[in-house]
């Protein structure tokens, strides 16, 4: 899946200093966060500004950023579905099927690893290169079409206004009649803007958030309260893998986080803290030493280590009721069936299965309580908030 071949060409991204050790923030960007939640940490050289977020929103919804002009980032990340697409597996602009489903972008700024199986992609700027230019599989299919696509963007009055606002240094070159020494629309600036928009997608307005952060005792129903207690109990053990701001971190990863909301910089992403959040939950047990489908072996595909077969990134549970189907390949259709999977200790227990996945004993009423709690993680406002909606859509 990784788009490796053009990374060298895009050497300007090296200056981004992708380590997460930086704490750069810009005061003019206002994060919409509840009390006690700090802004996410940002990569060095990637400040958040309102202008970059707005440019990123335009680019996120722009089909001109695909090779054939048929898809945008929003094709696979639909706001009403918490920025997933409702498919079991993604479908690229050329009709090529992706082996995995589209992950939610909600609270992506707080994640340490960004894809289902690759623990080395740690910044949204780098990750954006994969859907834009990747060829295995083809997603947006922009590779080889950059000149045409960027020329189309440059012809837009909207972008002639937004790029200089987001990157003030380009203002002196964009109106030159002669070819500028540095094109004012570049892949680096596109990925910086896309990353800024994606980082702005934060979700802390669910009933659970009103209860937890604002002390609203009435925000959760009695069933949801019981489900919450069960979720974090040692008996159900759901919270062992679903902690943190997005319910997507193991306890080991959670305690490795710095207090200001960012994860520690990993000296080796293949072995250091982010990999705590990759687990084999017992979905497949095919014959042979690799019991998962050959095109979907998880972290193993990047490390070659058989112990990593079937290890996939723990997904967020925020807005989980609108993000069906479930698991990395969409192979479980309904949330109630996901509970069945974990109660059984895995659909197909295998030798590499994580120790945390063991059979559970839950009564019918307890299952209903868990589902009520998961429902309480839905941020209805997020699903229709105009800050993240399609700016190209006709006015209603």
Render each residue's pLDDT in the chain as its tens digit; 396 residues. Answer: 444 444 333 333 433 433 333 334 444 799 999 999 999 999 999 999 999 999 999 999 999 999 999 999 999 999 999 999 999 999 999 999 999 999 999 999 999 889 999 989 989 999 999 999 999 999 999 999 999 999 999 999 999 999 999 998 755 455 544 444 358 999 999 999 999 999 999 999 999 999 999 999 999 999 999 999 999 999 999 998 998 888 987 655 444 333 333 333 334 444 444 557 899 999 999 999 999 999 999 999 999 999 999 999 999 999 999 999 999 999 999 999 999 999 999 999 999 999 999 999 999 999 999 999 999 999 999 999 999 999 999 987
Q: For residue 40, how far is the Cα from the chain centroid?
A: 14
Q: Where are the beta strands (DSSP E) in the chain?
A: 278-279, 312-313
Whether the CA torsion 275, 279, 284, 288 is positive or negative: it is positive
Q: Is 306 left (phi over 0), alpha (psi -120 to 50) or beta?
A: alpha
Q: What are the CA-CA distances from residue 249 to residues 254, 277, 294, 317 (Å)?
A: 6, 6, 26, 10
Q: For residue 115, how far is the Cα from the chain centroid?
A: 7
For the chain, domains (ranges, CATH) are 11-202 (1.10.760.10), 207-375 (1.10.760.10)
**Local structure of 278: helix, strand or coil:** strand
Do residues 248 and 239 make contact, with C-beta atoms less than 8 angstroms apart?
Answer: no
Secondary structure percentages of the chain, helix, strand, coil, to 5: 35, 5, 60
- CB atoms < 10 A from the CB of 182, how many? 9
Q: For residue 372, how far is the Cα from the chain centroid?
A: 24
How big is the chain by its Cα radius of gyration, in Å?
A: 21
């Amino acid at each position: 899946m990784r788009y490796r071949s053009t990374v060298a060409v895009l050497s300007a991204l090296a200056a981004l200093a992708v380590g997460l050790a930086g704490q750069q923030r810009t005061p003019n960007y206002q994060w919409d966060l509840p009390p006690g939640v700090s802004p996410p940490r940002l990569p060095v050289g990637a400040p958040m500004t309102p202008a970059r977020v707005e440019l990123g929103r335009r680019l996120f919804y722009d089909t001109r950023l695909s090779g054939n002009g048929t898809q945008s980032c929003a094709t696979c990340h639909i706001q009403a579905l918490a920025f997933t697409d409702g498919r079991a597996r993604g479908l690229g602009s050329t009709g090529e099927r992706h082996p995995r489903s589209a992950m939610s972008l909600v609270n992506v700024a707080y994640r340490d690893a960004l894809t289902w199986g690759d623990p080395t992609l740690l910044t949204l700027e780098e990750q954006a290169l994969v859907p834009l230019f990747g060829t295995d599989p083809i997603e947006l299919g922009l590779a080889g079409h950059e000149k045409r696509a960027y020329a189309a963007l440059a012809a837009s009055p909207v972008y002639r206004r937004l790029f200089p606002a987001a990157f003030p240094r380009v203002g002196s070159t964009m109106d030159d009649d002669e070819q500028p020494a540095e094109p004012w629309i570049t892949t680096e600036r596109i990925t910086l803007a896309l990353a800024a928009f994606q980082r702005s997608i934060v979700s802390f307005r669910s009933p659970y958030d009103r209860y937890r952060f604002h002390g609203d005792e009435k925000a959760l129903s009695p069933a949801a309260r019981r489900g919450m207690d069960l979720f974090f109990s040692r008996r159900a053990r759901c919270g062992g893998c679903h902690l943190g701001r997005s319910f997507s971190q193991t306890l080991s990863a959670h305690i490795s986080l710095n207090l200001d909301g960012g994860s520690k910089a990993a000296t080796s992403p293949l072995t250091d803290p982010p990999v705590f959040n990759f687990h084999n939950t017992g979905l497949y047990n095919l014959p042979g030493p690799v019991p998962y489908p050959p095109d979907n072996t998880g972290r193993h595909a990047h490390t070659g280590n058989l112990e990593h077969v079937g290890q996939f990134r723990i997904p967020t549970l925020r807005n989980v009721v609108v993000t069906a189907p479930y698991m990395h390949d969409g192979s479980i259709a309904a949330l109630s069936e996901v509970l069945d999977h974990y109660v059984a200790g895995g659909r197909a227990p295998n030798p590499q299965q994580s120790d945390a996945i063991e059979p559970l004993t839950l009564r019918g009423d307890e299952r209903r309580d868990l589902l009520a709690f998961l429902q309480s993680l839905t941020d209805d406002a997020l699903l229709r908030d105009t800050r993240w909606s399609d700016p190209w859509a006709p006015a209603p």
